[in-house]
Amino acid sequence: MPNSKVSVIIPHWNGIDILKDCLESLSKSSYPNLETIVVDNASTDGSSEWLSNNYPDINLIQNTKNYGYAGGCNIGAEQSSGDYLIFLNNDTVHNEDFIERLADFLNLNPQVSAVQPKILNYFDRNKFDYAGGGGGWIDILGFPFARGRLFLNIETDKNQYEKIRPIFWASGTALMIRKKLFHQLGGFDNNFFAHQEEIDLCWKIHLSGNQVWSIPGAVVFHKNAVTLPMFSRLKQYLNHRNSMLMILSNYSLPMTLYLAPIRIALEFIALIYALICLDINHFVGIIQSFIWIITHPHVIIKRRFQVRKIRKVKDSEVVQSMYWGCLLYTSPSPRDKRQSRMPSSA
């Protein structure tokens, strides 16, 4: 499909300045068949009025409450008209050809369902960005990492990840997906609100027998942690809760019974460590995540039924796209120490 229509969906909550930079950058896109949708999640800083006055041609959706990244993106997708969807953070700027490169790859590779660009840090453009880097991976216990970022260790971009290749998850910072499949999979899970919903979506892409790839020739720069601070209590809570939610619902029952106790034990270790370090935000965030999981068994059961409906491949095939091990116990090989801190499978 040459020049397939692309719908850019930008969920937004406050921050006129960052949205302005994003839209100015997007206006320079070389892609000819584009629509832009901004989903305002009940901003309180006049974002909707500013957008209406300065970008009247953009499709503005005004929500009456904050539905988070997941809910905002789903609402935008429902009103989109493109063949492909790009979910784009409002705190990004972009190379002019990034949409073109992503769309061209999907056009030429029908077996690929979702792609992401290379994501670099806006403030230090020689560094990968925390949220996605050169493409996302995950270990079998649900701990995510990315090419160019392992925990808090961020690599300098030395073109070490320039190969176009399959990955496990594409970052929600800038994720392009075929619209038809997005709706077939049920979109993002609104229960996630924010953080790791794109990992959950990509997990379902793999379960449906489709692929996710990284296209490093397309480049996006991200102002990471502008909307939600890196170590805030809410971010800690969402990351722990959403990660456990995937482990409890995306695996088959035998794999869940095998892996979930290990993951829960590691959560308790993290809880004790946070207490020893007097990291109150982390400690409370983990406690809150456990409370949510314990009090929402119906959500887990419902998600497990939804996964059964879309599953076309076994876990044994899906885990081939994961890192078979636990990141907490990973030591880079001698080769990796010279070139990268990624596990060798990345």
Please report where in the chains the tokens 């950058």 appear, as a residue.
Answer: 25
- Going by pLDDT thresholds of 50, 70 and 90, the confidence category of residue 35 is very high
Co-location of 257 and 305 in the same domain = yes
Instruction: Answer yes or no: do 290 and 214 share one domain.
Output: no
Residue 338 has pLDDT above 60, yes or no: no
Q: Do 177 and 298 fall within a single domain? A: no
CATH number of the domain enclosing 19: 3.90.550.10
Average pLDDT, the chain: 92
Let me know if residue 320 belongs to a domain: no
- The reply to whether 165 falls in a domain is yes
CB atoms within 10 A of CB 105: 17
Percent of the chain with pLDDT over 90: 87
Average pLDDT over residues 180-189: 97
What per-residue confidence (pLDDT) applies to 341?
46
Residue 279: alpha-carbon gap to chain centroid: 26
| Same structural domain, 107 and 211 | yes
Bigger pLDDT: 341 or 176? 176
Radius of gyration of the chain (CA): 19
CA distance 161 to 128: 10
> Does 77 lie in the same domain as 167?
yes
Query: Which of 222, 246, 266 is the C-terminal boundary of a domain?
Result: 222
Specify whether 143 is located in the same domain as 117.
Answer: yes
Distance, in Å, from the CA atom of 275 to the CA atom of 345, rounded to the nearest integer, reads: 33
DSSP-derived pairing of the beta strands 211-222 and 92-94: antiparallel
Q: Which domain holds residue 123?
A: 6-222
pLDDT of residue 324: 78
Residue 165: what residue type? R
Average pLDDT, integer, range 156-175: 96
* Amino acid letter for position 76: G
Tell me the per-residue pLDDT of 92-125, one tens digit each, with 9 for 90 and over.
999 999 999 999 999 999 999 999 999 999 999 9
Structural domain includes residue 108: yes
| Domain shared by 39 and 70, yes or no | yes
Average pLDDT over residues 36-48: 97
267-318: per-residue pLDDT in tens?
999 999 999 999 999 999 999 999 999 999 999 999 999 999 999 999 999 9
User: What long-range pairs does 51-54 form, CB within 8 A, spacing at least 24?
Assistant: 51/19, 54/20
Residues 74, 39 within the same domain: yes
Q: Are strands 211-222 and 112-121 parallel, antiparallel or unpaired?
A: parallel
pLDDT at 333: 35
Residues 6 or more apart whose Cβ sits within 8 Å of residue 85: 6, 7, 9, 77, 176, 177, 178, 179, 182
Whole-number pLDDT of residue 73:
98
Alpha carbons 171 and 23: distance in angstroms, whole number:
19
Does the predicted model carry a pTM greater than 0.85?
Answer: yes
Cα–Cα distance for residue pair 138/179, rounded to 1 Å: 24
* 339 within domain boundaries: no
Using the 3D structure, point to which of 222, 242, 261 is the last residue of a domain. Answer: 222
pLDDT of 329 reads 52
pLDDT band at 346 (very low <50, low <70, confident <90, very high): low
**What would the pLDDT profile of 52-69 be if each residue is shown by its tens digit?**
999 999 999 999 999 999
Regarding whether 11 and 117 lie in a shared domain, the answer is yes
Residue 128 pLDDT = 95
Mark whether 163 and 118 lie in a shared domain.
Answer: yes
Listed residue (192, 137, 159, 184) closest to 344, CA to CA? 137
How far out from the chain centre does Cα 254 lie?
27
Q: Using the predicted structure, report yes or no on whether residue 344 has a pLDDT greater than 50.
A: no
Give the residue from 171, 172, 181, 174 showing the smallest Cα distance to 204.
181
| pLDDT tier for residue 337 given thresholds of 50, 70 and 90 | very low
The dihedral over CA atoms of 89, 91, 95, 101, expressed in degrees to the nearest 10, equals: -10
Q: How many independent structural domains does the chain possess?
A: 2
pLDDT of res. 150: 83
Question: Of 129 and 328, which is predicted with more confidence?
Answer: 129
Both 207 and 105 in a single domain?
yes
Do 215 and 237 lie in one domain? The reply is no
